[in-house]
Amino acid sequence: MKALQIENLTKTYAGGFQALKGVSLSIEPGDFFALLGPNGAGKSTTIGILSSLVRKSSGSVHIFGIDIDVDFSAAKREIGIVPQEFNFSQFEKVEDIVVNQAGYYGIPKNQAKEKAKKYLTKLGLWDKRDQPSRNLSGGMKRRLMIARALVHEPRLLILDEPTAGVDIELRRSMWDFLKEINAAGTTIILTTHYLEEAESLCRNIAIINHGEIIQKTSVKGLLKQL
Ligand code: ADP
Ligand code: ADP
């Protein structure tokens, strides 16, 4: 069974712009996969469809064998999404943001608190737990989004441009963290427009441009061509 299987995915936005022109991708469990492409290529649209923020026009998506058209809520339990934009309340406390996310998955409160502590600690945010999120720096907010996406311990973690605007030192520590959770078994997919990010982290890459996958390769294979 694939962690993610996308077949012939298309998206035409209202107004007629075709952002995805038949994207197919097949990602194995345990992979660390990059969807690499320039701005406007269709990366966020793809992620948006996986997180139900964007409605696909046609094509199919299976997440660990679950068809999102058949049982989206079951599919959603398998994935954690780290969107590009901060989308939590500025006033809510750091710990509550993570604990409340677990509530969407029906995780009991005491267990939610335990997981929130685990991931906030791993991401270096536990001492900020009582702060409203507006007090966090940009890098901390990004780590908070990762903790929130992991609280229900999904098998697939999807990050949309996770290190855009993050300084080099923090970027390295985020990379280390992602490598660690991938080594522990979580399948990871990230979008990026930095080749360096894809090659330092990922095993497999799909290159997307103008809504089409133009190449699929292993990172080793890609480096040989350069
Ligand atoms: P990427 O994440 O690779 O930068 P996006 O998926 O955000 O690319 O965008 C792909 C294309 O779709 C871009 O040309 C963008 O302008 C267009 N697009 C994105 N969202 C919308 C929308 N809501 N309505 C119309 N066009 C959109
Ligand atoms: P609900 O689960 O109540 O239907 P939504 O799906 O609308 O809520 O999600 C609420 C917010 O949480 C959205 O902004 C969405 O981007 C974010 N979100 C949804 N699922 C996840 C997830 N697995 N990980 C991180 N953020 C998520």
Q: Whose CA is closest to 101, among 144, 140, 163, 142?
A: 144
CA of 147, nearest ligand number = 2
Distance between Cα 99 and ligand 1 center (Å): 32
Q: Which atom of ligand 1 is nearest to the CA of 160?
A: 2
Regarding the beta carbon of 89 and ligand 2, being less than 6 Å apart is answered no
CA of 12, nearest ligand number = 1
Angle in degrees, CA 17, 18, 21, rounded to 5: 175
Regarding the beta carbon of 13 and ligand 2, being less than 6 Å apart is answered no
pTM: 0.87
Record the tokens describing residue 4, joined without a space: 């993610």
Record the tokens describing residue 221, joined without a space: 């294979």
CA of 50, nearest ligand number = 2
CA distance 124 to 59: 40
- Residue 2 identity (one-letter amino acid): K
Pocket test for ligand 1, best of 12, 17, 213 (most atoms within 8 A of CB): 17
Pick 31 or 223 by higher pLDDT. 31
pLDDT at 226 over 80: no
Pick 4 or 197 by higher pLDDT. 4
Record the tokens describing residue 215, joined without a space: 């190449």
Q: Which atom of ligand 2 is nearest to the CA of 82?
A: 25
pLDDT category of residue 15 using cuts at 50, 70 and 90: very high
Calculate the CA dihedral of residues 177, 180, 181, 182 and round it to 10 degrees. 120
Cite the beta strand spans of 165-203 per DSSP E. 187-192
Q: What is the pLDDT of residues 71-92, one digit of tens each?
A: 999 999 999 999 988 888 999 9
Residue of the CA atom closest to atom 26 of ligand 1: 13
Q: What is the pLDDT of residues 129-157, one digit of tens each?
A: 999 999 999 889 999 999 999 999 999 99
